[in-house]
Structure 1
Amino acid sequence: MSDRASGSRYDKGMKTRREVLGDAHVDRASANMTDFDKDFQTLITESAWSTVWSDETLTKRERSMITIALLAALGHSEELAMHIRATANTGASAEDIREVLMHVAIYGGVPAANTAIKIAKDTLSGMTE
């Protein structure tokens, strides 16, 4: 898979990944890549970032809110914080995040939303400092 890293799907995915997560995050991920995870990095760049995030059916703001809801409901705290930070690039507001987490409380469970709200508060306060 890593041999395809120069292909158009990879390039398109990397462009979108950088737009959403920011150059600093993507540069760190790339710098930390090893032979062990390079195929995984290629997979997520081509699948998540090229196939899903680059599609124009939904806006980046909408995709951001969906992603936050799913990560919160599934309890993926580290990824949740990362995608909350990414809202600086996707256009999702603190109000959007709050509303998404209210939906998580109803459809994904209050404990998951409670944890996500704590993460969101900490992450958002760190973004404004």
Structure 2
Amino acid sequence: MNQESFEKGLQTRRDVLGADYVDASLKSADAFNMPMQELVTEYCWNEIWNRPGLDRKTRSIINLAMLTALNRPHELKLHVRGAINNGVSKEEISEILLQSAIYCGVPAAIDSFRGAKEVFKEMNI
């Protein structure tokens, strides 16, 4: 693991997902899953999220569509929160999920709408 890449990724991860969530994930990691935390933080959150080609809002939009396509409700909820933190509006999230319904399937999009509503309720928006 490259410590500098990890630290940069950790900052981005905290900025997008919130420090409380990220710190809890790292605190609960053990010898079994810490290597995955390190991998995700260094490569996903630094090497990809910090590339100059796309801004964070655009990356969040892409993630919401992909997570809907993959039907990953836990990750979708996490990234709805990140999308809000990155400037994606509730209305834009609705449009992303509607578009995803057509290209990814209505059942996957319905689950994503359900998850997004839970996050909006938690965030009082």
Check whether TM > 0.5.
yes
What residue identity is the alignment partner of 2:103? Y
Unaligned 5+ runs, structure 2: none
User: Contact 2:84/2:90 (CA < 8 Å) preserved in 1?
Assistant: no
- Work out the CA distance in 2 between the residues paired with 1:52 and 1:96: 23
Taking the aligned partners of 2:8 and 2:121, their CA distance within structure 1 comes to: 32
Structure 1 stretches of 4+ with a deviation exceeding 3 A read none
Correspondence 1:116 to 2:112: yes
- Check whether the contact 2:67–2:76 (CA below 8 A) recurs between aligned residues: yes
- Equivalent pairs, count: 125
Superposed CA RMSD: 1.3
Aligned to 2:63, which of 62, 67, 78? 67
1:84 pairs, out of 70, 80, 93, with 80
Please name the residue that 1:29 is paired with: 25
1:47 alignment partner in structure 2: 43
What is the percent sequence identity of the aligned residues? 38
Question: TM-score when scaled to structure 2?
Answer: 0.94
User: Whole-Å Cα distance in 1 between the matches of residues 9 and 73 of structure 2?
Assistant: 23
TM-score normalised per structure 1: 0.91
Deviations along 1:15-37, one digit per CA (max 9) or x if unpaired, are 11111011101110111010001
Q: Distance in 1 between matches of 2:92 and 2:54?
A: 15
Q: Which string of whole-angstrom CA distances, capped at 9 and with x for unpartnered residues, describes residues 56-85 of structure 1?
A: 211111111110111111110111011111
